[in-house]
A and B are shown apart, each in its own frame.
Chain A
Amino acid sequence: MTDVIADGAPAGRHKGSLLAQDTRTKKRNAAEARFKIYGLFAICLGLLALVWLVTSIISNGAGAFQQTFVTLDVTLAEERLDKNGNRDPDDLRKVSTFGYAPLIAEAMEAKMTETGIAVEGLSAKDAAALVSKESPAQLRNFVLANPDQIGETVTFEFLAGGRIDGYLKGRVSMESAVRDSNVSPEQLMLTDAFVEAGVVEKRFNWLFLTAPDASGQRPEAAGLGVAIIGSFYMMLVVLVLALPIGVAASIYLEEFAPKNRVTDIIEVNISNLAAVPSIVFGILGLAIFINFAGLPQSAPIVGGLVLTLMTLPTIIIATRASLKSVPPSIREAALGVGASKMQTVFHHVLPLAAPGILTGTIIGLAQALGETAPLLLIGMVAFVREFPDGPPEGLFDPASALPVQVFNWTQRSDPAFVERASGAIIVLLIFLLIMNAVAIMLRRRFERRW
């Protein structure tokens, strides 16, 4: 019986035992195993790069969230701050930050006497230089806000200077201080003693997130406040403009537009736009919004408009894909019970496409959040210390943006800004992570409905 079947079978039919693999099978299995190894290797390589990137950013940037503070008791001497003694705000404002610097020097001397710390060869002026150059301004703002405190002794926490902070973070050493005109070994010795005494201390630094940028000489005072607000405003503009315009355009193209040459051309061009380098959008924005429409430079509204142009293709492509993925049977069902085209779209198609649209939008927003090049062209790279007003007027005030701030800080010479820039990258990445998490959450939530 078996012979008969074997005779009639085509040549090459498997004749051997099932328990032993023939050469063809062996070859096939080997190829499969090799392919798996290649894949695994590629994934490991990717993971390794990611881990490396993340650890290097975190190890560089984590320091930005910690800052060294100096606690001093400052006597707000009336004869220096308010000679007339009448607390007239206009008179108080006449005393510049230079008028406040001696107060800090005095407080520093008092602190050294109080703790019994003395360092040979350290002048009072150098000792006072432990605190940031930002401190007199901090003191002045306090006095202008609380004139009734003049004459009292108030405890302040001043930012330590960038080099002192660097010393506590291991960036500055005794050896480097010898060669550094900005800091002397004596100052570092004083710092050591103050750390023992609890006067100088490293703590979590909210100012990094809330303070505006500072000049190149004061890295310790530089913060992301203006950049975060600027980025937030731009995202607001992008969301408010790109989502409705993108979804409306997609619905029209996908559901209503006739399929002809014109719509074909539009379709091709939208795909092409998504691939256009972002700096091109920056030039476009410069030409249209600033030179032609006369909107102010460095303003979040212009940044938002440029990023909207950039994000629209992404949103349109994602929206059209998710509209397409809604089964036609749903459309037929709705049309079959007499729904109009618009009712079909808004009652049935759009809700089913919503998770995809949302995900696409958030990914588009995340892309826009990290975009730098077009913002450089519209002047968002300017040094901005003033916080913009609340929306909507604030949209027209100058502001910075997170990625631009990173770019900006990497351009500065003081090595303390490397830490700042890495810290800003961490903040940016955290925002991106949050946005992606929200995208996933929304998606789950909408999809779980059925």
Chain B
Amino acid sequence: MTDVKIAARDVQVYYGDNHAIRDVSVDIKDKTVTAFIGPSGCGKSTFLRCLNRMNDTIDICRVEGDIAIDGEDIYDKRVDPVQLRAKVGMVFQKPNPFPKSIYDNVAYGPKIHGLARNKAELDEIVERALRRGAIWDEVKDRLTEPGTGLSGGQQQRLCIARAVATEPEVLLMDEPCSALDPIATAQIEELIDELKQNYSVVIVTHSMQQAARVSQKTAFFHLGYLVEYGETGHIFTNPEDPRTESYITGRIG
């Protein structure tokens, strides 16, 4: 049930001369929500983007160390990042639907990965993804309308639906609620809770309450180091490292 999905060993990330991630080793479990917390600029996003090689798109970024998903090194030369990203979906801080219809937003991933043989299958995939994104009921009558016309919270759920449409195994979320109001945030959190039945979810958040609410495991980053990693309940009630304690009690960050 809770096997290791992603295993990272001694990961170093450099942006030019800036050593942004230092010696990070972590095991992320399957069908679990793992939260990355820490003061801003500590490297949460950077590390998250290593997990689907989004950092490849930044010229000056260099990643060292091993990251394996299901035991396969994702930085192996033979790995095509395009295939990897179908397996490791990502949801961004700011909702970023394509300026296309709601249907096309969700259908795009399955289309380019050839997941549907015909229109009926594609329709089915889109509906399933929108249901998983908990937005089906709100948009089922207006699938042809632009995704950019939805409210912020709806857009973010559409982006989640778009990410799950390619049938990923891991879902990375970088502060998915930071641009949303409390009600939309609550909806997304509920959704994350459901998603963990099928996926390994990794969420970056700057809200400790959110981490406490949705995650089972929490990793605390500070100045590029992974300071502490463990059961969420344990980290919040009984942190072992003084830096974690200061952050949780509001003294740093």
B-binding residues in A (CB < 8 A): 258-259, 327, 329-340, 343, 347-348, 352, 449-450
Task: Give bound CA distance, A332 to B54, whole Å.
Answer: 8
- Which residues from chain A contact B83 at a C-beta distance below 8 Å? 338
Task: Give bound CA distance, A258 to B57, whole Å.
Answer: 11
| B136 at interface by CB-CB < 8 Å | no
Q: Is the CB of B112 within 8 A of A338?
A: yes
- Which residues from chain A contact B113 at a C-beta distance below 8 Å? 338
Chain B residues 164 to 209 lying within 8 A of chain A, measured CB to CB, are 165-166
Given A258-B59, A259-B59, CB of A338 within 8 Å of CB of B166 = yes
| B109 at interface by CB-CB < 8 Å | yes
Task: Give bound CA distance, A338 to B82, whole Å.
Answer: 5
Q: Is the CB of A338 within 8 A of B109?
A: yes
A-binding residues in B (CB < 8 A): 52, 54, 57, 59, 82-86, 89-92, 94, 96-99, 108-109, 112-113, 146, 148-149, 159, 162-163, 165-166
Q: Is the CB of B96 within 8 A of A338?
A: no
- Which residues from chain A contact B108 at a C-beta distance below 8 Å? 334, 337, 339, 347
Q: Is the CB of B112 within 8 A of A339?
A: yes
- Which residues from chain A contact B57 at a C-beta distance below 8 Å? 331-332, 335
7 tightest Cβ-Cβ pairs between the two chains A and B: A338-B86, A337-B109, A329-B96, A338-B85, A336-B90, A333-B96, A450-B99
Most chain B beta carbons < 10 A, residue from A332, A337, A348: A337
Q: Is the CB of A336 within 8 A of B98?
A: no
Count of A-B residue pairs with CB < 8 Å: 67
Shortest C-beta distance, B142 to chain A (Å), equals: 14
- Which residues from chain A contact B94 at a C-beta distance below 8 Å? 329
Residue pairs across A and B with Cβ atoms less than 8 A apart, 10 shown, are A329-B96, A330-B99, A333-B92, A333-B97, A334-B98, A336-B52, A337-B162, A338-B83, A343-B112, A347-B112
Task: Give bound CA distance, A333 to B89, whole Å.
Answer: 10
A interface SS class: helix
- Which residues from chain B contact A336 at a C-beta distance below 8 Å? 52, 54, 85, 89-92, 163
Shortest C-beta distance, A139 to chain B (Å), equals: 64
Q: Is the CB of A333 within 8 A of B159?
A: yes
> Which residue in A330, A337, A449 is a CB contact (below 8 Å) of B85?
A337
Given contacts A333-B159, A336-B85, A347-B112, 16 further A-B pairs with CB under 8 A are A332-B57, A333-B97, A333-B98, A334-B98, A336-B52, A336-B90, A336-B92, A337-B86, A337-B163, A338-B84, A338-B85, A339-B109, A339-B112, A450-B99, A450-B146, A450-B149
Most chain A beta carbons < 10 A, residue from B82, B84, B94: B82
Task: Give bound CA distance, A13 to B149, whole Å.
Answer: 47
Q: Is the CB of B92 within 8 A of A330?
A: no
Q: Is the CB of B99 within 8 A of A335?
A: no
Residue of B nearest to A327 (CB): B96
Shortest C-beta distance, A324 to chain B (Å), equals: 16
- Which residues from chain B contact A334 at a C-beta distance below 8 Å? 98, 108
Task: Give bound CA distance, A48 to B22, whole Å.
Answer: 67
Task: Give bound CA distance, A340 to B85, whole Å.
Answer: 10
Shortest C-beta distance, A341 to chain B (Å), equals: 8
- Which residues from chain A contact B91 at a C-beta distance below 8 Å? 336
- Which residues from chain B contact A450 at a C-beta distance below 8 Å? 99, 146, 148-149
Task: Give bound CA distance, A347 to B111, whole Å.
Answer: 12
Task: Give bound CA distance, A199 to B86, whole Å.
Answer: 82
Residue of A nearest to B91 (CB): A336
Task: Give bound CA distance, A408 to B109, whole Å.
Answer: 60
Shortest C-beta distance, B132 to chain A (Å), equals: 15
- Which residues from chain B contact A449 at a C-beta distance below 8 Å? 99
- Which residues from chain A contact B86 at a C-beta distance below 8 Å? 337-338
Shortest C-beta distance, B74 to chain A (Å), equals: 13
- Which residues from chain B contact A339 at a C-beta distance below 8 Å? 82, 108-109, 112
Q: Is the CB of A330 within 8 A of B82?
A: no
Residue of B nearest to A339 (CB): B112
Task: Give bound CA distance, A332 to B95, whole Å.
Answer: 11
Most chain B beta carbons < 10 A, residue from A258, A335, A338, A449: A338
> Which residue in A338, A340, A348 is a CB contact (below 8 Å) of B98?
A348
- Which residues from chain B contact A343 at a C-beta distance below 8 Å? 112
Shortest C-beta distance, B40 to chain A (Å), equals: 19
Q: Is the CB of A332 within 8 A of B92?
A: yes
Task: Give bound CA distance, A339 to B85, whole Å.
Answer: 8
Given A338-B85, A343-B112, CB of A330 within 8 Å of CB of B98 = yes
Shortest C-beta distance, A356 to chain B (Å), equals: 15
- Which residues from chain B contact A347 at a C-beta distance below 8 Å? 108, 112
- Which residues from chain B contact A352 at a C-beta distance below 8 Å? 99
Task: Give bound CA distance, A426 to B54, whole Å.
Answer: 56
Shortest C-beta distance, A55 to chain B (Å), equals: 45
Shortest C-beta distance, B93 to chain A (Å), equals: 9
Most chain A beta carbons < 10 A, residue from B90, B96, B166: B96
Given A343-B112, A347-B108, A450-B148, CB of A335 within 8 Å of CB of B54 = yes
Task: Give bound CA distance, A338 to B84, whole Å.
Answer: 7
Shortest C-beta distance, B247 to chain A (Å), equals: 28
Residue of B nearest to A449 (CB): B99
Residue of A nearest to B83 (CB): A338
Task: Give bound CA distance, A329 to B84, whole Å.
Answer: 19
Shortest C-beta distance, A1 to chain B (Å), equals: 37
Task: Give bound CA distance, A450 to B112, whole Å.
Answer: 23
Shortest C-beta distance, B143 to chain A (Å), equals: 15
- Which residues from chain B contact A331 at a C-beta distance below 8 Å? 57
Q: Is the CB of A329 within 8 A of B99?
A: no
- Which residues from chain B contact A335 at a C-beta distance below 8 Å? 54, 57, 85
Residue of A nearest to B52 (CB): A336
Task: Give bound CA distance, A337 to B98, whole Å.
Answer: 11
Shortest C-beta distance, A263 to chain B (Å), equals: 11
